[in-house]
Amino acid sequence: MVKKSMMLVCALLFGLSLILSGCGAPAGKTVGVQSVQKQGKSITVAVQDNFVSMDPGDTNDTLSFSAEKTMMEGLIGFDKSMKMVPLLATSWEVSPDAKEFTFHLRKGVKFSDGTPFNAQAVKVNIDRLSDPKSNLKRHSLFSLVDKTVVVDEYTVKVILKQPFGAMLNNFAHPAALMVSPAALEKYGKNIGRHPVGTGEYMLKEWIPGDHLTVVKNPNYWRQGYPKLDSITFKSVPENGSRIAMLQTGEADFIYPVPPENVQSLVGQSGVTVKHKPSIIVDYVSMNTLKKPFNDPKVRQALNYAIDKNAFIKVVYSGLAEPMTSEIASNVQFFSPQQPYPYDPNKAKALLKEAGYPNGFDTTIWSNNNSTYIKATQFIQQQLAQVGVKVKIENMESGTMDSKIWSVKKPQDATIQLYFGGWSPSTGDADWGLRPLLSKDMIPPQGYNTAYYQNDTVSREIQQAIETADPAQRKAAYDKVEKDIWQDAPWVFLDTRDNIYGYRNYLKDAFLLPDGSLDVQKAEIVK
Amino acid sequence: MPDLLKSPAAAGLTVTEPPGPPLPAPDAILTGGTVSSPWSEFWRKFRRQKLAMVAGAFIVLLFIIAIFGPVIAPYRMDQPDYNNMLAGPSLQHLCGTDEFGRDIFSRILVGTRISLWVGLSSVLVSAFFGTILGLISGFYGKWLDAFIMRFSDVLLAFPGILLAIGIIAILGPGLGNVIIAVAIFGIPIFARIVRSSALTLKNTVYVEAARSVGAQNKRLIWKHIFPGAVSTVIVYFTMRIGTAILTASSLSFLGLGAQPPTPEWGAMLSSGRNYLDQAPHVAVFPGLAIFLTVLAFNLFGDGLRDALDPKIKS
């Protein structure tokens, strides 16, 4: 029997070691000692999630856009700080009423399948995006387009149904990456599996759930680029494995690096970890249609009840900034507001005034990645201090999407609190406010999970896009941001940093503030 | 697993030292001290299992903690300290603090009750239904037997954890549903063991004797067959508790069981895995708690089996 017991002990120890090793964290801090030299000119990028589609117009995750941008280019691009720069269009004009947009195109550019890039190609792409019948996820960015006119071979004019001052930013959005018209015709609905663009790289293979590889486009128009032979994107959901891959050199670039692991990577030889302010805001939306959140006092109380600095310390290891408006400070037309200070007593007083002296019970929904799980637990702890008992439901994103967007009538929505993040990839206030807080954007139309339907705010948001004049737009957004801030349909939390890591020999691979990768100009320096 | 099936069950019919209420009970009373009672006989044998004795003592300690845990815990289990997060073990915090600055030692103490409760209650449910089904199956045979056993085969064909995940997927996450899930996948195991005992016991001379004097089926099952199967059930009951605790922890580890801030050990282990490189203690202590508890129940079960198995002569 002793022998049997020993066996049992061994089995259990083995099991425990399995549990521990299954967690996949790096075994120690001595891994990064090998040389920082790199053989060949191919790199591997390890990312957290799977790629969904390679059809830019039908993509709504930032990660898929990252891979698409290596193969395709838009009329307008973004520089490192998300300022618009000419790309396939060399210049453009906007009519004063913000209804007509004329683009002058770059000459001598060809898609990687040999199709020439010209005004006709642009028209095919914009027509496809603006036609509701194409059933594209990003149709909403181009639903205002009335028609696209070919002026001459290298000039194209887009005419809108009504003025829209932020339209240029929509053209810079990755959804408007140009796809080869010949490929669109050839592959039809399957274009998402066969992307063809004018970009630095071309698709070699894509095995969903595992990896996606792009190879050099030999006929790329910009002299001297691309600098690499190939880029392989690998989906590595486990944080620990991704970090280990960077340490061992199996991956040359990883994103994201969890904030709690930054300390352990900093100072390791051959590895650089960077964190930069993003335009991603984290917030808790409150269903303003339902009790108790229909009362602004309750919503303000929750804003006072949460210590944003402690939130940042606990959830992001200090690598974030408290929100000072509904949009991040580096988004166009940001207008700073006075943050709600941490004041649990004031929160309790407000709850009492609103008729909830003993608090209430509620439920919070969020994604189930480890950062979000931690965030919701922190919110639960803080709200418990003022008597609000929160039940946490962390769901897989598919499940949550269907729970939020399958709602037919607003009054049937079961959503109460929702913790989420938003990254306006146009870099403009419009895409940071209208889809989330305007009254015509309640699910399933948009992302207004607060069911916030303030007529004044909705009208002001509309006014801000009816002109292209920056001064007028700024004035309108100043009012919008102030009104929403006071009405508090959200608990305003933070703007997080983007954190990524790379091997030191890698140059010009970085993250844009919206959380998308920019690796198309990357090179290896020996 | 094969040992478990063969030893006590097959041995039950020789009835030299019957477990539970013994057959020759009247004689024992008449002859007084000359025949030792089954309890003292059991105790005499069990005492020699040193490892099982230690495990038993540990289990007693666990029960004491389960009852008094929240009282003796130095901190409230959900009391955060944002200035002292992921701190290593110290005199203030014996097992260190977790990612919210909560005292891990206190959380483990409070979590003991949850783990024991999940383990005991789910195995109790399994044993209850499994025993009834096993007795019916073994005693009546024929189509009832075929039906119950084929159904057990279907359940046993799934790996335990997979079946539990499937049940949770239907019922939804939560500790209550974990108990149900773990209980369901334990039922066929008990049913099989009890059936095999019942099959052999129903053909023994004393059962036939009882039948010939006109005992009803119900009486035969409960008075004559069930007691013979009890020792097997007890042994397996103890063994299963360890497995049940482990399964429940695994489910919580996967986020299907206990919901925050419940200090369930598996859930604690799960959140601790994110900090393995900078604060291993967050995962190690809950892992150790699971490890020791499961080990204790298994060693205790081992000892019980050896003590109750009449084939092992003292």
Pairing of strands A42-47, A253-255: parallel
Looking at the partner chain, which of A16, A376, A384 has a beta carbon nearest the beta carbon of B291? A16
Quote the pLDDT of residue B2: 43
Quote the pLDDT of residue A1: 45
Selected residue with higher pLDDT from A239 and A190: A190
Beta strands in A423-522 (DSSP E): 490-503, 506-507, 510-511, 517-518
Which of A22-36, A466-480, B264-278 comes out lowest in average pLDDT?
A: A22-36
Fold entry, domain A56-193 = Dipeptide-binding Protein; domain 1 (3.90.76)
- How many whole angstroms separate alpha carbon A498 and alpha carbon A280? 9
Q: Reduce the secondary structure of A49-106 to three states and give it as a string.
A: CCCCCCCHHHCCCHHHHHHHHHHCCCCEEECCCCCEEECCEEEEEECCCCCEEEEEEC
Residues of chain A with Cβ-Cβ distance to B306 below 8 Å are 1
Residue A83 has pLDDT above 70, yes or no: yes
Quote the pLDDT of residue A27: 37
Question: Residues A29-52: what's their mean pLDDT?
Answer: 72
Quote the pLDDT of residue B311: 61
For residue A416, give both structure tokens: 């109460």
Cβ within 8 Å, pair B255-A394: yes
- How many whole angstroms separate alpha carbon B305 and alpha carbon A472? 85
C-alpha distance across the termini of chain A, in Å: 62
C-alpha distance across the termini of chain B, in Å: 24
Cβ within 8 Å, pair B49-A373: no
- How many whole angstroms separate alpha carbon A285 and alpha carbon A306? 14
Looking at the partner chain, which of B82, B283, B298 has a beta carbon nearest the beta carbon of A314? B82
Domain ranges of chain A: 2-51+197-268+500-524, 56-193, 277-497
Please say whether the beta carbons of A501 and A245 come within 8 A.
Answer: no
Quote the pLDDT of residue A253: 95
Cβ of residue B239 closer than 8 Å to a chain A Cβ? no
**Cα A133 from chain centroid (whole Å):** 26
Quote the pLDDT of residue A383: 96
Predicted model pTM: 0.78
Give A336 to chain B, closest Cα distance, Å.
Answer: 28
Residues of chain B with Cβ-Cβ distance to A260 below 8 Å are 99, 274-275, 278
Under-50 pLDDT residues of chain B? 1-18, 20-33, 314
- How many whole angstroms separate alpha carbon A174 and alpha carbon B146? 63
Substitution target from A3, A14, A238, A260 for chain B, most B beta carbons within 10 A? A260
Signed CA dihedral, A234, A280, A315, B246: sign only? negative
What distances in angstroms separate CA A190 from CA A196, A262, B154, one per listed residue?
12, 40, 42
Q: What is the DSSP letter of B97?
A: B
Selected residue with higher pLDDT from A216 and A31: A216
- How many whole angstroms separate alpha carbon B183 and alpha carbon B175? 12
Nearest Cα to A379, choosing from A307, A463, A299? A307
Fold entry, domain A2-51+197-268+500-524 = D-Maltodextrin-Binding Protein; domain 2 (3.40.190)
**Cα A188 from chain centroid (whole Å):** 27
Cβ within 8 Å, pair B302-A25: no
Signed CA dihedral, A370, A376, A379, A381: sign only? negative
Cβ within 8 Å, pair B78-A4: no
Looking at the partner chain, which of A1, A25, A373 has a beta carbon nearest the beta carbon of B306? A1
Substitution target from B45, B165, B273 for chain A, most A beta carbons within 10 A? B273
Substitution target from A311, A316, A372, A377 for chain B, most B beta carbons within 10 A? A377
Quote the pLDDT of residue A36: 54
Residues B146, B150, B155: CA angle, nearest 5 degrees: 150
Beta strands in B28-122 (DSSP E): none
SS3 content of chain A, % helix, strand, coil (to 5): 35, 25, 40
Cβ within 8 Å, pair B100-A378: yes
Quote the pLDDT of residue B312: 56
Highest mean pLDDT among A8-12, A323-327, A366-370, B254-258: A323-327
Quote the pLDDT of residue A116: 94
Residue A470 has pLDDT above 60, yes or no: yes
Cβ within 8 Å, pair B260-A392: yes
* CATH top class, domain A277-497: alpha beta
Looking at the partner chain, which of A264, A307, A377 has a beta carbon nearest the beta carbon of B278? A264
Quote the pLDDT of residue B276: 82
Query: For residue A46, what is the enclosing H or E element?
Result: strand A42-47
Contact partners, residue A36, CB within 8 Å, separation at least 6: A269, A270, A503, A504, A505
Question: Residues A281-310: what's their mean pLDDT?
Answer: 95
Looking at the partner chain, which of B49, B51, B274 has a beta carbon nearest the beta carbon of A260? B274
CB atoms under 10 Å from CB of A526, counted, come to 6
Residue A135 has pLDDT above 60, yes or no: yes
Pairing of strands A510-511, A320-322: unpaired
Please say whether the beta carbons of A497 and A296 come within 8 A.
Answer: no
Cβ within 8 Å, pair A368-B255: yes
For residue A191, give both structure tokens: 């274009």
Quote the pLDDT of residue A519: 93
Looking at the partner chain, which of B82, B259, B283 has a beta carbon nearest the beta carbon of A23? B283
Give A160 to chain B, closest Cα distance, Å.
Answer: 48
Q: What is the CA radius of gyration of chain A?
A: 25
Cβ within 8 Å, pair B276-A368: no
Q: What is the pLDDT of residues A47-70, one digit of tens each?
A: 988 888 899 998 878 889 999 999
Nearest Cα to A69, choosing from A182, A279, A231? A231
